[in-house]
Every structure is written in structure tokens, then in C-alpha cells.
Amino acid sequence: MDSITFEELSEFFKTKLKTASKLLEQRDFMEDDTCIQEYKVVKEDIKQLCITLSILQLNLGKEAEKLEKIQMYNRDMSKLREHLRYMVSNVPERLPKSSKKQDTVEHVPSQGKVSSAYVNSTSSHGPDKQCSASQVSGPAVSETNSGNVYLPAIDYLTVEEFEGAPKYMKGRLVYDQVNKLIDAMNAGFKAKYKLLKMKKSTLNDYNRKLYETYKSQGNKETEGLYFIVDEDIKTHGKTTMDKTAQNIMGILRHCGRVKEVRGGKLTRYAYIDRY
């Protein structure tokens, strides 16, 4: 009791008297059977309300856990949506080929026009004795009973591989330029080894000279390998091996797609079997 004035003290006692009066009134109710019965009903209702409240609290906890999971899924979906938007905005013109994807050759059409200087530049020396037909085709080539020939193709670079190449190699190159050169190289491989898989006796004079040119380009280091030279890329891939193409070739070597075999006046680009 912290009353300072008589008014506050009077108010304090009035409150106490009012409380005592209510208690006296309720004391008589305890002797009334009707009040006792009502009291029991109210007590039971309160008990049921407590049980219901406990159930609600339990369900509320479960719903809170569900809400947390939904929020987590929502965050994951938001990240996925951003990734998909990035992918849609950055779809390359070319996608990597599936592993071991190969071209099937059922017949060998006439070769494209190759410069006479290219055909005659090495054909006079005859084919390299150390580079037999089986060695040129390499272990990746097989032949079915129907005579079909399977030619491997260089796999496209993935975006991750391109981005992982050293910056000094890439310079101002863009991803699509690399795979365009791969297309040109694959055209050269396909045209060359179509011809080399034919029987020499079935070729006309022009293709026979070209056949001999191809064979004479091999050396000890190219045994068992597929390889092409600049002229093959230029003729069949319609691409000149300029400064840009040489930079791209450096990236392909770095990523394990090709290797260079030098010797004489030729630079040979050999296919690397990655599987």
C-alpha cells in the first residue's frame, strides 16, 4: 500500500471492501446445487477447451514446419527460374554431340574440288609405306557386314570447357567460333577418310592421285591416327587457317580434342579419341 493522500487511502479500502463483498456473495453459491452443477459444466468445458488448444498448438507447429519447407522450395524454384532464364537467353547455336556419335557412310560420292597443286604437291612421292590403310583409319573405325564405314567426329566444346580455357588463348573469341571450326574439321575428316576406305583400284585418276596425296602425308607419329591438314579444312570445311583459326586450334589442343603432328612442310591435326 503506497497511498500518499487520504483520497488514495480511501480508494484503496473501497476496492478491498468491494472485493470482499463479491467473495461473500459467491460463498453462498457454493451451497446452491444449481450453481455446483453449472460449475462442473463450466469446468468440463474449460478442460475441453484446454485439450482443443493443445491440439491447435500441435497442428500450428506442423503447419509452421510445412510453411518453412514451402518457403525453402520457393527459394529453390526462384533459383531454378533464374537459371532457366539465363539458359534461354544464352542458348548456343550448336550443342555438344552425344558421346561416341559417329557418321555412317553407305557410299562414297565424288570428292569436292581440290586444288591440283594440293593433289600433286606430295603424290609424286607415293604413299607412305609406314602408314597403311588400317593404320590411317585408326582403331576407332569399324566396318559392318554391309560395308558401312563409321567415322568419328570431334565433339563440340561445352560452354564450361570454353570458359575454362585460359584468357590468353581466348582473347576476343566467342564460343560459337570454336564449334564452327570443329564443323569445318569434321568435314575434312569425313571427306578424307571416305576416300581412303575405298579400294584404290575403283578410283578414277583424279581420286587416285588424291588418295596417294593423303597417304603420303603420314609419318611415324601419325600411325593409327586420324589427321587432316590445312588444305583439307580449307577445301572441305570452307575455312582458312588464319590467325583466328590458329588461336582456336590452341584451345582445341588445350581441351584434348586434337593434337598437332609436325614434319616436313605440313602441320597435321590429329583426332584424339576421348572415350
The backbone region for 138, taken as left when phi is positive above 0, alpha when psi lies in -120 to 50, beta otherwise, is left
Helix (H, G, I), strand (E, B) or coil at 260: strand
What pLDDT is stored for residue 13 in this prediction? 76
* pLDDT, tens digit, 9 for 90 and up, residues 4-40: 676 877 787 788 788 877 766 766 666 667 777 777 8
**Residue 206 exposed, middle or buried by CB count within 10 Å (0-12, 13-18, 19+):** middle
Beta bridge partners of 104: 150
What pLDDT is stored for residue 145 in this prediction? 37
In sequence order, the 6+-apart residues with CB closer than 8 A to the CB of 219 are 128, 130, 131, 261, 263, 264
> C-alpha grid cell for residue 75?
527459394
Paired sense of beta strands 266-271 and 227-228, if any: antiparallel
* pLDDT, tens digit, 9 for 90 and up, residues 143-152: 433 456 668 7
* pLDDT, tens digit, 9 for 90 and up, residues 111-160: 555 665 566 554 444 334 333 333 333 334 434 334 566 687 899 999 99
pLDDT tier at 228, thresholds 50, 70, 90: very high
Q: What's the mean pLDDT when you consider all of the chain?
A: 79
What pLDDT is stored for residue 90 in this prediction? 76
Q: What is the pTM of this model?
A: 0.52
Angstrom distance (rounded) from CA 258 to CA 141: 17
Write b or e for each residue in 69-106: b if 16 or more Cβ atoms lie within 10 A of its Cβ, otherwise e: eeeeeeeeeeeeeeeeeeeeeeeeeeeeeeeeeeeebe
If you average pLDDT over residues 192-198, what whole number do you get?
A: 91
What pLDDT is stored for residue 65 in this prediction? 93
**Residue 173 exposed, middle or buried by CB count within 10 Å (0-12, 13-18, 19+):** middle
What pLDDT is stored for residue 52 in this prediction? 84
232 C-beta neighbours (distance < 10 Å), count: 24
- At residue 209, what is the residue type? K
Check pLDDT > 50 for residue 195. Answer: yes
Closest CA to 270 of 208, 206, 234, 223: 223
Low-confidence winner among 57-71, 145-159, 254-268 (lowest mean pLDDT)? 145-159
Indicate if the alpha-carbon torsion angle 8, 11, 15, 16 is positive or negative: positive
What pLDDT is stored for residue 68 in this prediction? 93
If you average pLDDT over residues 210-225, what whole number do you get?
A: 92
Check pLDDT > 80 for residue 235. Answer: yes
Angstrom distance (rounded) from CA 207 to CA 102: 24
What pLDDT is stored for residue 163 in this prediction? 92
Beta bridge partners of 150: 104
In sequence order, the 6+-apart residues with CB closer than 8 A to the CB of 19 are none
What pLDDT is stored for residue 142 in this prediction? 38
Residue with the bigger pLDDT between 233 and 263: it is 233
If you average pLDDT over residues 50-62, what whole number do you get?
A: 88
If you average pLDDT over residues 166-175, what whole number do you get?
A: 93
What pLDDT is stored for residue 115 in this prediction? 60
CATH T-level topology, domain 102-271: Arc Repressor Mutant, subunit A (1.10.10)
